[in-house]
Every structure is written in C-alpha cells, then in structure tokens.
C-alpha cells in the first residue's frame, strides 16, 4: 500500500485525510501525547484494520477521540463526575472510561461494555476529527510491542506501507500517552498515569486511587482494568534495569559500566561524573520532568536502533507529578526489574 505523507498545515490534504477516515481508511495523526492511528469509530471493519496494521491483539480496546467533550453523551453514558473532570481537563491528555452506547461497535472496545473517551488538545487532531464528522478510534501509532511514536519519522518507520496516510505535525508535545481514569464508587481510579497527574485530579477534590498495574507486575491470574497494561508494551530490545537508592550510590553503580559498548547508561545533565562517558545517554535536567517525559520514547527508539547495546541502566525516577507516568513506562520497559543500590 502507498502511504501518503500529509503536512498538517495543508488544509486541502487534511480534508482528504478526513475523507479517508470517514470511508474506513487508516490515518496516523499527531496528538499532544503521542501519535495516534485513527479510524472511523462507528465502523467495526475500521477497528479490525487498525488491529491488523499494528499487529495488535484485538482484545485490547481502542480509545475514541472526540473534538469536544459535549459530544461524549452521543457515544457513552456520561456521569456528573465526568462533567466535573472534563470541564477542567478536556481537551487535554486524559482518557475517561464510561459505559458505552450501542453506536460504538464491540470491535472498537475489544468486546467491553465500556469505552475510553478522549478529547485531544492538539489543533491538528481536533481539526481531523471535526473535518471527518465522526469520532476517531485510535491506539498509539506504533507497531505492537514498540514504543509509542512521538514524531512522524517514528510512525513512518513502523507503519509506512501498512496504512493510507500519515499526517506530519512535528513532535508530540508531551511524549507519553494520556492518563486513563475510571470511576469507582464515586472516586477516580488511575489505570494508566500520564500528564494529568494524581495531584491535578486531587486538586479538583476527587478521591484518587491507583490501579495496581501502574506500579507492580500482576500475577498470571490478575487482570488489569486497562487490558493494554498487561502487555509488555514499552519493551526495548535490550534488557533494561532500574536502580533505586541515593543519587550518589546510583551514580557510583552506573560508573562501573564506563567504556562498556554493550551497555547504555541513561543519566541527567547534573550527573557530571557520568555525562562524559562514551556510553552515556543524557536525557536532560533531572528537575525538568516534562522534558524527560518528552524525550523518553524517542530515546528508547534510538537505543533500539543500536544493535550493539544489550543492556540499559537508568535510575528509577521519583513518582511525584508526571514522574509517576515516567516511572510506569520505565518499569514496564524493565519488566519490573529494580535493583536497590
Ligand atoms: O494518549 C493516548 O491515549 C494515545 C493517543 C493516540 O490518544 N492513545 C493510546 O492508545 O495510547 P493505546 O491504544 O496505545 O492505549 C490505550 C489503552 C490501552 O491500555 C487499553 O487497554 C486502554 O487504553 N483502554 C481503552 N479502552 C478501554 C476501556 N474501555 N476500558 C479499559 N481500558 C481501556
Ligand atoms: Mg499503545
């Protein structure tokens, strides 16, 4: 299949992309979190094409993207808590799980009776949804098992030739997927952490709890609330290990890998004893968590592209604010391997 590459500024081609979506085609598009692989959320055949293009198990539900939270009631049973949270954080990097209405085909929700609703803040995403006139079902635009894509070049690497079009809208601003929440007895349960943080939800007066799958490996017979959390999604080719403890001891441990071309050491600008190492990968300032979030997936892709690297070591980030989302992606990449030093 020939894949069209569409610049997001080209309004005529944006309308063509919208038509492709309407007519059951697949279009990758930028959002403020990561790139999405969009399909018409009202057509069950479209969802099946998404699963095939990604090589994704079809029991893993797709998020439905709307241009305005006011549209949600057409597709799901909205609640007072949804109204309260969506009035503040939608549009934004948030997905809200609600009971679905029958217009959303079962293939979109992997057979669940709920649907994830998200209103992206990104202007191109919003325009594509408005132009297409239908809700857009979209998972992250990566091959299953690869890191989510945060730039059009990543989407081209994974999906060129497998989908109809890719809209190039530059780098995704946040770089990590949306926060996914569900309601549980009047409180908010976080199924996947993201840029809408625990603290931001508590600021609204909500009681917030974390699904176990956010920080811990589930046993064989436990099922996470978000089916996607059970897959070892963010697994790079190399074996990843996280280190916890005092920064000084972590850095001394990391220094023992100096000169090892089979080992990548992920570190921060402040770690002066490490940044000069030939195998150091500097992710940015330790305090600038937004930048770490923004860089994480492209760094994992870069490391994946270097076949010499067999091992990756990084300190385990602290879990305040967006740190929880960074920790969650890294700990999954590490298969939950954390060494206390
Ligand atoms: O930021 C994002 O959320 C991006 C952009 C494109 O919007 N999308 C994204 O989609 O990350 P995906 O498919 O890679 O991840 C969706 C996650 C999966 O873990 C899936 O299991 C969960 O959302 N999910 C979707 N619908 C659900 C539902 N009804 N109940 C529970 N979990 C759901
Ligand atoms: Mg994904």
Triad 49, 139, 242: Cα angle to 5°: 130
**Which of 62, 63, 125, 213 has most ligand 1 atoms within 8 Å of CB, for mutation?**
63
Triad 98, 103, 105: Cα angle to 5°: 85
Query: Atom of ligand 1 at shortest distance to CA of 65?
Result: 7
Query: Atom of ligand 1 at shortest distance to CA of 231?
Result: 19
Number of Cα atoms under 13 Å in the Cβ half of residue 82: 21
Q: What is the pLDDT of residue 59?
A: 81
Q: Is pTM beyond 0.85 here?
A: yes
Q: What is the pLDDT of residue 227?
A: 80
Query: Residue 260 pLDDT more than 90?
Result: yes
Q: Answer yes or no: is the C-beta of 109 below 6 A from any ligand 1 atom.
A: yes
CA neighbor of 188 nearest in space, from 79, 31, 110: 79
Report CA 300 to chain centroid distance, whole Å: 14
Question: What's the pLDDT tens digit per position in 65-96?
Answer: 999 999 999 999 999 999 999 999 999 999 99
Per DSSP, the three-state class of 238 is coil
Q: Answer yes or no: is the C-beta of 180 below 6 A from any ligand 1 atom.
A: yes
Q: Answer yes or no: is the C-beta of 193 below 6 A from any ligand 1 atom.
A: no
Question: What's the pLDDT tens digit per position in 187-238?
Answer: 999 999 999 999 999 999 999 999 999 998 888 778 778 887 765 556 788 9
Number of Cα atoms under 13 Å in the Cβ half of residue 117: 31
Question: What's the pLDDT tens digit per position in 294-312?
Answer: 999 999 999 999 999 999 9
Per DSSP, the three-state class of 304 is helix
Query: Atom of ligand 1 at shortest distance to CA of 35?
Result: 6
**Both ends of the chain: CA-CA distance in Å?**
50
**Residue 198 phi/psi, 5° resolution?**
-50, -45
Q: Answer yes or no: is the C-beta of 195 below 6 A from any ligand 1 atom.
A: no
Separation CA 268–CA 270 (nearest Å):
5
Separation CA 247–CA 234 (nearest Å):
25
Q: Answer yes or no: is the C-beta of 150 below 6 A from any ligand 1 atom.
A: no
Question: Ligand 1 center to residue 189 CA distance, Å?
Answer: 15
Number of Cα atoms under 13 Å in the Cβ half of residue 256: 7
Label residue 50 exposed, middle or buried (CB < 10 Å: 0-12, 13-18, 19+).
buried
Question: What's the pLDDT tens digit per position in 236-255?
Answer: 889 999 999 999 999 999 99
Question: What's the pLDDT tens digit per position in 31-48?
Answer: 999 999 999 999 999 999
Q: Answer yes or no: is the C-beta of 34 below 6 A from any ligand 1 atom.
A: yes
- Please enumerate in sequence order all residues whose Cβ is within 8 A of that of 207, keeping only pairs 6 or more positions apart, or say none: 186, 187, 188
Per DSSP, the three-state class of 327 is helix
Q: How far is CA 85 from CA 79, 99, 198, in A?
A: 10, 16, 13
Q: What is the pLDDT of residue 233?
A: 58
Number of Cα atoms under 13 Å in the Cβ half of residue 120: 31
Judge whether 212 and 225 are in contact, CB under 8 Å.
Answer: no
Sheet holding 311-315, edge to edge: 280-282, 263-267, 311-315, 239-244, 338-340
Please report which helix (H) or strand (E) contains residue 311, including its range.
strand 311-315
Q: To the nearest whole number, what is the mean pLDDT of the chain?
A: 95
Q: Answer yes or no: is the C-beta of 114 below 6 A from any ligand 1 atom.
A: yes
Separation CA 217–CA 265 (nearest Å):
24
CA neighbor of 238 nearest in space, from 271, 279, 274, 178: 279
Report CA 161 to chain centroid distance, whole Å: 23
Q: What is the pLDDT of residue 306?
A: 95
Judge whether 194 and 180 are in contact, CB under 8 Å.
Answer: yes
Question: Ligand 2 center to residue 54 CA distance, Å?
Answer: 10
Question: Ligand 2 center to residue 32 CA distance, Å?
Answer: 14
Where residue 92 falls (left for φ over 0; alpha for ψ -120 to 50; beta otherwise) is: left
Residue nearest atom 29 of ligand 1, based on CA coordinates: 115
Query: Mean pLDDT over residues 11-21, rounded?
Result: 98
Query: Atom of ligand 1 at shortest distance to CA of 60?
Result: 21
Q: What is the pLDDT of residue 99?
A: 98
């Amino acid at each position: 299949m020939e894949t069209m590459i569409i610049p997001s500024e080209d309004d005529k081609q944006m309308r063509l992309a919208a038509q492709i979506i309407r007519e059951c085609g697949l279009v990758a598009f930028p959002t403020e979190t990561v790139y999405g692989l969009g399909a018409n959320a009202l057509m069950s055949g479209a969802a099946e094409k998404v699963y095939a293009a990604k090589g994704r198990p079809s029991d893993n539900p797709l998020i439905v993207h709307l241009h305005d939270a006011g549209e949600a009631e057409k597709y799901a049973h909205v609640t007072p808590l949804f109204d309260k949270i969506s009035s503040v954080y939608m549009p934004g990097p948030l997905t809200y799980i609600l009971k679905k209405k029958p217009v959303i085909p079962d293939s979109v929700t992997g057979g669940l009776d709920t649907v994830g609703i998200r209103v992206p803040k990104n202007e191109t995403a919003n325009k594509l949804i408005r132009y297409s006139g239908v809700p857009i079902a979209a998972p992250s635009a990566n091959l299953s098992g690869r890191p989510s894509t945060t730039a059009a070049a990543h989407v081209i690497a994974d999906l060129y030739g497998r989908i109809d079009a890719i809209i190039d809208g530059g780098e995704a601003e946040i770089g990590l997927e949306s926060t996914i929440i569900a309601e549980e007895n009047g409180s908010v349960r976080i199924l996947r952490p993201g840029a809408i943080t625990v603290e931001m939800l508590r600021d609204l007066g909500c009681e917030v709890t974390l699904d176990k799958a956010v920080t811990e490996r589930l046993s064989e017979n436990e099922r996470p609330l978000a089916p996607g959390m059970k897959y070892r999604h963010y697994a790079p080719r190399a074996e990843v290990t996280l280190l916890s403890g005092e920064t000084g001891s972590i850095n001394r441990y990391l220094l023992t890998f100096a000169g090892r071309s089979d080992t990548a050491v992920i570190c921060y600008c402040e770690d002066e004893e490490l940044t000069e190492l030939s195998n150091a990968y500097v992710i940015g300032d330790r305090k600038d968590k937004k930048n770490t979030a923004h860089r994480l997936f492209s760094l994992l892709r870069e490391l994946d592209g270097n076949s010499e690297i067999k091992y990756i070591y990084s300190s385990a980030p602290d879990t305040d604010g967006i740190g929880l989302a960074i920790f969650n992606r890294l700990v999954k990449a590490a298969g939950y391997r954390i060494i206390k030093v």
